Structure 1
Amino acid sequence: AAPQSPLRPLAKPAPFRQARAFAAAKGALSSPVAGNVIGRFGAARPEGGKFEGVRFATADRAIVTAPFEGQVAFARTWNPIGNLLVLDVGGGYHILLMGVGGFLVEEGQSVKAGEPVAAMNGTDSSLDLEIRKNGEPVNPSLWLSENARPDPAS
C-alpha cells in the first residue's frame, strides 16, 4: 500500500447536528414568548383564512426565544407578513416565528433552545408560531409542553 500523505484537503464544516431529534420533543417545547394565546391552529384568522399555527399576544418589546435547538435558515422581511425567522430543527421540520420586530441572530447561526433570537415591536405585538414538516403545517399545540400549551377550553 502506498504511504498516506500527511496533508489532506480541508474538510467542509460539519452540518448542524441536534443533541436530540425534534420528533422526540413532541409535548416538550417551551413557548417562544411570554403572552396569552389569541389564535389557535385551524381557527379563523381575523385577517382571513385559518391559523396554521398559534398566535400569542406579547408584551411590548418582549424577547422571543428558540423553542428548540436548530440553525437559523431565514431571518428577513417576507412580504406580506413582515419579519420572519425560520429555524431548521432537522428531520424535515422547521419552526417559523412571524411578526417579530427585530432579529438577534443571523442566517446560518446555530441556536440552543431558550436562546434569544428576536425581539417584538413596541406596541400591539403578536407572534405567530408555526411548525412545518416537509413544508406542511402541523399543530404546534401538540409540540408545546403542558405549561406552554394553549387552553383548548378558552
Structure 2
Amino acid sequence: TEAALGAERQRSQQLADKASSLKDLIASLEADKARKAADQAKAADRKSADADTTASTAEPAAPPVPEGNRLTASAPFAALQGQIALPVIGQIKRRFGTDDGNGAMMQGDMVATQSGAIVTAPADGNVLYAGPFRSYGQLLILNAGDGYHVVLAGMSRISVATGQSVLAGEPIGAMGEARVASTSASQNGNATPELYVEFRKDGKPVDPNPWWADRFSGRT
C-alpha cells in the first residue's frame, strides 16, 4: 500500500542519514530488510496456526497455475556477463580502477550522456534504496540477487521507490541538464551529465566491464 511504501521510504532515509559510507548504507538496509522478512514470516506462521485451529472444514485447494503461464525465473546476475547494456545512452569516460581525479581509484564506471537522458535498470532487481545520500546526490541501489548490488548516481530524478521491483530495461530515472562549465574545464563551455555506475558483490566493488554487452554506445 501507499502507506507501507511511505513508511519504508522514511525508514530507509533514516538509515541513510546514519550511514557513514555506501558500504554501511547497503549493509544496514539489507539487515533491516532481513529483520522485516523474519518478522513477516513469524506473523504468517502465527496466522496459519490460528487458522488451523479454528477452521472446521477446509476450502478446496486452488488449481495449480498452468506451466506456460508461470513467470520464468530471471538469470543470476553473475550469468549476465557480456549481456548488460549501459543503463543510459552515452560513452564510458572513466573506468573502474583508473584515477578518479581526486587522488583515489574509480570503484565503478562513469558514463557521459546527454541532457534529460532516460536511465533504465541494467538488470532485474529490487530497489533497496532511492533518494539522496551524501556526496552521491540522488542515489539508487538495486539488489540484483546472489549478493550483487547495482549502484547508480548522478540522476536528477528517480522514478522508482524503495521496495519496488524493476525489470531490466525499465525506466528508473532521468539525467539533468548539461551545466555550464568554465572554459578551463571544457573548451566548448558545456559539461555533459554523467551517470556513475557501480557493481558490488558481497559489499565490495567489482569491475563492471565484463558485464557490458556494448561498452561504448549504450542502450539504443
| TM-score for the superposition, normalised by structure 1 | 0.83
- Give structure 1 stretches of 5+ with no counterpart: 8-16
Question: Match for residue 195 of structure 2?
Answer: 127
Q: Structure 1: which amino acid aligns with 2:148? A: Y
- Give structure 2 stretches of 5+ with no counterpart: 1-51, 60-71, 179-191
Q: Which structure: larger Rg? A: 2
**Large movers: runs of 4+ above 2 Å:** 4-7
Question: Match for residue 42 of structure 1?
Answer: 97
Question: Match for residue 12 of structure 1?
Answer: none
Q: Distance in 2 between matches of 1:113 and 1:89?
A: 10
Structure 2 residue 145 is matched with structure 1 residue 77 = no
Question: Match for residue 164 of structure 2?
Answer: 109
Give the count of matched residue pairs: 137
1:21 shift after superposition: 1.0
1:18 shift after superposition: 5.1
Q: Distance in 2 between matches of 1:46 and 1:18?
A: 41
RCO higher in structure (CA 8 A, sep ≥6): 1
1:97 shift after superposition: 0.5
Q: Distance in 2 between matches of 1:67 and 1:44?
A: 24
| TM-score for the superposition, normalised by structure 2 | 0.59
Identity of aligned residues (%): 39
Question: The residue matched to 1:67 in structure 2 has which SS?
Answer: coil
- Structure showing the higher helix proportion among its residues: 2
Quick check: 1:57–1:125 contact (8 Å CA) kept in 2? yes
Question: Match for residue 100 of structure 1?
Answer: 155
Question: Match for residue 10 of structure 1?
Answer: none
